[in-house]
Amino acid sequence: MSYATRRGRSTLAMLAALVTGGGAVAGCSQGSSAACAPSAIPEHEENTLVIEGDAWSGYAPFRDEGLLDGTGYTALYVEQVCQDVRAADLTAGRADIIVTTLDQYLLEHPEGTVVGIIDQSVGADALALGTAHHPELDSIDDVPALVAREAEVGGKPVLAYTGNSPSEMLLNELVNTTDELRLTDFELVSVDQSATALEMLQADEAQLAIIWEPDTSAARAAGNTIALSSADVPDSIVDVFVASGRLIERDPAAVQAVVDSYYSMMDGLLARPEALAAFYAADGGLDIATVGTLLSGIKLYGTGDADTFLNDEIFPLDKPQILQSIDSIGSVLALVHPDIPLDQAEVDGRFVSALTR
């Protein structure tokens, strides 16, 4: 099922969503924590670092209990589906580190600093067209004609996407980079997860859907068209880890320990593709083929690439790519959220650059 698919929710969170009529996710997207349960943080030792995130496979190394072995710290991974609660926990000091996407970091603006990059989507998230039910809809060029046909009968095509997730960010990015998509041309339906959007596409309840792997492959296999994907908008869906300001100030060695441990684990896995696939398969309970599909749509970062992304100034804007991504993502988000505080975004690449020295 969807346990470890892209931004897949945990079984518990799914149950919570079902019990609340799917309201958990909607609650998050509205910035309200009313529908989100507080983080269940168990009692822990002084030297335990609380890391909050969701069930996304990319966060698997943080779920590894042995992540911080030999550093004098231990890691405690707490699953928290709601981004606003995760951000609030970081600000309040209940969490030491959160793993999230750059767009959510900008939207929720927790008191914390981006200290590392985990991965970015390069095709895993995609816009699928319902070609199976609408054979004429096999290219993005056919979308305006579909919109016109629906308008003639007083309707709009339905576009399903997962709210408060990278799907929403991808939707905004695609709208801002292609001529054929205009948000107001569609009836936008926010769903709880990619699988639901795919189900709507399969049942012709939606004519377009933003989905993520492995649903992207499933949609393609079912005869639908993958018209656009995150590969068309590079550097826009980026997973990062954010350390709380308190932790950086109080115990920078702890932050350095997390950065060291994470990238040494990733360097090891990236050097052995089979071990990498096996690791993610074990974490998510997925078969190797599914993991292969998943990994083909994302770029994972080891020390070298992370250092480049966080610290190298890129011509001609002469800023590290992460800052350029923050500006670019922030500009897109600012259309919908004009008051988004982009100047509060903080990046500290020193922890990663220390690894390369």
Partner 1 sequence: MTTTGETLTTTTPAGVSASGSGAAPALPAPTDAPAVGSGADKILRVGDEPPPGGPSGGRVRRVLQALRVGRSRASSTPFRLRLGMALLCLPLLAFATAVHLGVERNESTVTTVGTEATRGITVAQTLKLELAELDQVVVHGLLSQASLTANGFPHDYNTKRAELHDSMVLAALVSSSGAAFEQPLANIDYALPHYHALVRDAFAAGADGDEATALEAYGQAHEVMADTLLPEAEFLDKANSYVLNTTYDGQKARSVSTGRLIVVSWLALLGFLALTQILLDRRFRRVLNLGLVLATVIALVSGGVTLRRLDASSAHLADAREQAFQSVHVLARARATVVLARQAQGQFLFDPSTAEGAQLDFGHQVSRLLRMEGEDVVDLAVDGKIPEGAAGYLAGVAGPGAAGTDPESARNVVLAFEAFLTEDATMRRLVNTDEPEAAVDEYTNGQAYIDLDAAITAAQAIEQGTFDEAADAAEDAAAPLDVLNLLAAAGILLLAQLGLFQRLREYRA
State the nearest-atom distance from the C-beta of 53 to partner 1, in Å. 27
Sign of dihedral through CA atoms 190, 296, 282, 54?
negative
Which of residues 10, 33, 176, 353 is near partner 1 by CB under 8 A? 176
Instruction: Indicate the residue type of 151.
Output: A
Q: Are strands 97-101 and 238-244 parallel, antiparallel or unpaired?
A: antiparallel
Question: Maximum distance among all alpha carbons in the chain?
Answer: 67
Which of residues 183, 203, 275, 282 is near partner 1 by CB under 8 A? 183
Half-sphere exposure of 150 (CA within 13 A, CB side): 17
Residues 327-346 that bind partner 1 (CB under 8 A): 327-328, 330-332, 334-335, 338, 340, 342
**Residue among 40 and 315 whose Cβ is closer to partner 1:** 315
46 contributes a contact to partner 1 by CB under 8 A? no
182 contributes a contact to partner 1 by CB under 8 A? yes
316 contributes a contact to partner 1 by CB under 8 A? yes
State the nearest-atom distance from the C-beta of 112 to partner 1, in Å. 20
State the nearest-atom distance from the C-beta of 145 to partner 1, in Å. 8
**Residue among 116 and 330 whose Cβ is closer to partner 1:** 330
* 176 and 125 Cβ atoms separated by less than 8 Å: no
Q: What are the residues whose beta carbons fall under 8 Å from the beta carbon of 250, sequence distance 6 or more?
A: none
**Token code pair at residue 84:** 């606003």
Which of residues 45, 46, 70, 184 is near partner 1 by CB under 8 A? 184
149 contributes a contact to partner 1 by CB under 8 A? no
State the nearest-atom distance from the C-beta of 317 to partner 1, in Å. 6
State the nearest-atom distance from the C-beta of 330 to partner 1, in Å. 5
**Token code pair at residue 40:** 């269940």
SS3 call for 45? coil
C-alpha–C-alpha distance, residues 196 and 190, integer Å:
10
State the nearest-atom distance from the C-beta of 218 to partner 1, in Å. 24
Q: Are strands 158-162 and 187-191 parallel, antiparallel or unpaired?
A: parallel
State the nearest-atom distance from the C-beta of 148 to partner 1, in Å. 7
For 127, other C-beta atoms within 10 Å of its C-beta total 27
225 has which bridge partners? 129
**Token code pair at residue 244:** 């709380």
144 contributes a contact to partner 1 by CB under 8 A? yes
170 contributes a contact to partner 1 by CB under 8 A? no
**Token code pair at residue 309:** 């992304």
**Residue among 19 and 145 whose Cβ is closer to partner 1:** 145
**Token code pair at residue 147:** 């919109």
Chain contacts with partner 1 (rule: CB under 8 A) = 138-139, 141, 144, 148, 175-177, 179-180, 182-184, 315-318, 327-328, 330-332, 334-335, 338, 340, 342
